[in-house]
Chains A and B, each alone.
Chain A
């Protein structure tokens, strides 16, 4: 599809307000050789029930349908893995379904849960995701991931997904980054920021105190991407519970309004045809007429340098929720930083910066909890949990972890999740002596982007304090 019809551009409508009432997550790590997946999922659901002062049994009594995000059946060698987890969570005989949209699986599971509540089918729905990527040797794992590319046209070429993905990074690096050392440094700053933030997160799999030089000197994976530019491959689980208004206030006195939308684009980057840039509410017609002059080679849209699915998901979600300018209307974001360069691409796709100017979001200091230039709070902090680079990428759980993290900021309970000494000890991790709260002060609205691979699926979730809505129902 290259031209959108009015019907396709219709702004999605939830038939009644939907609220996030709680969220939870397990510890994340590269491997759990002595832990079954169900144990991690139970940890996540138990954390969610603890968060609203209930026992798991009490919270489960509200749940009516379940949406499970688990991407890679072949990693776990278990078809119908959702049925296994559903049974172990003790949620039979409720209806449940598995959702699989690559890296966007967690966000997509939430998309389904929200629609179930909005439609009236359920008053309370569970979205829970997990991934198990540690139970095959790494090279076989790389092959299994490469099966998410086209099996006839791409997978035989090296059986390495990075190769299919990094060509996009290369194009962005050459056209928009102009191969500048300063752009390379900006990419590295993202890795330093996110791995550094992960140090304050006991759940995080990849915390590191590093410098720009550490990143730019780390081994090359696929130039210009180096090891420290890349996200983690993790194991773990996360969940969220959504409800209609009446049920939400039975569970908590502080539910958050949730809006969510999804977009898609071709599985093969090869199939992407040219189109006009769809504009977000903070952009104006003609704004990109000279983009090819400013950035020679950058006039092909979405080409290899933009993610149409992210733009479309943001387009729907912004119009649903009333967001006009994310930098002005939102307080915190969790983005899908699979790679430092794709993080920059996403800033543009979702309108934090115009196309071609994504790097400024980092360089201005706006993306930090505390702006390193002004020493004041950043305008729109991104990924205080550490993101996929520092916290985790347990595929089916990632989007749900991001939503949970945004929720913790708006609930003003981020410290309660990340600070307790006993949690650090229980996870077998040492709390840094310089542990610092990354609670975004006064956060009332936030956004999470859940993104699949080369951009085949993207969801955009927006959470708001119900007293700080932008748009009337």
Chain B
């Protein structure tokens, strides 16, 4: 059962500090565990409901941009670095070689024109807290030679196949500000087939 707004925890940053408000945990009593065969006590349950607070730091622009329909990456522009010109997606705040701050670049157009499936897997299983419909079609997306990494994502519409062209879609309506705001569909998917809240 989803929590009501009164049962949720919210956080703002005020004067450089986290200011939580709302409910951050709901207390639930533990329960004993008995061995039904012997009738003896074996242990207890320890239920717990917690909300973690997490900073995106320098990656915040990536997650904020998804809701605006933009796929941001970073590029090393350090003349003295062997990796100069390399684009990183997943977004890396710092170049892994020279550890200089990388330049934020918009690769939305590149992704729309070049993205294709490097590998994929279809699974009917998930862990607790999963919100994706099953089966889940995991895909690994390669772009072009400038992008030296291979992004993991989910194929929302279409059947995955190595080498198949895919196009990013973005949750621009009510974004979650997580990686769940980015998915892919096979090239040529009509906008009307995109999942609720997503646009090209």
Interface string of B120-148 (1 = CB under 8 A from A): 11111111111010001011100000001
Given contacts A167-B140, A171-B162, contact A145 B154 (CB under 8 A): no
Interface string of A1-22 (1 = CB under 8 A from B): 1110000000000000000000
Name A residues whose Cβ lies closer than 8 Å to a Cβ of B.
Answer: 1-3, 33-34, 77, 137, 139-146, 150-154, 156-164, 166-171, 174, 220-223, 268-274, 297, 304
Q: A379–B128 Cα gap in the complex (Å)? A: 44
Number of interface residues of B (CB under 8 A): 47
B152 touches A167 (CB 8 A): yes
B127 touches A158 (CB 8 A): yes
**Nearest residue, chain B, Cβ from A268:** B90
Given contacts A2-B97, A34-B42, A270-B150, contact A142 B128 (CB under 8 A): yes
Q: Measured between C-beta atoms, what is the minimum distance from B33 to chain A in Å? A: 7
Query: By CB atoms of chain B within 10 A, which of A141, A154, A160, A164 has the most?
Result: A160
A158 touches B140 (CB 8 A): no
A143 touches B136 (CB 8 A): no
B123 touches A269 (CB 8 A): no
User: B1-53: which have CB < 8 Å to A?
Assistant: 33, 35, 42-43, 46
Contacts of B128 on A, CB cut-off 8 Å? 137, 139-140, 142-143, 159
Interface string of B147-164 (1 = CB under 8 A from A): 011111110000000100
Question: Besides the contacts A33-B42, A162-B125, A169-B121, what 6 more A-B pairs have beta carbons closer than 8 Å?
Answer: A153-B152, A158-B126, A159-B128, A163-B136, A163-B138, A171-B118
User: B45-104: which have CB < 8 Å to A?
Assistant: 46, 54, 56, 59, 63, 82-83, 86, 88-90, 92, 96-97
Given contacts A33-B35, A157-B153, A164-B152, contact A152 B56 (CB under 8 A): yes
**Nearest residue, chain B, Cβ from A157:** B154
Partner of B119, one of A137, A153, A171, A274: A171
Contacts of A141 on B, CB cut-off 8 Å? 127
Closest A-B pairs by Cβ, 9 of them: A159-B127, A142-B127, A143-B127, A171-B119, A222-B123, A166-B121, A139-B128, A143-B128, A167-B119
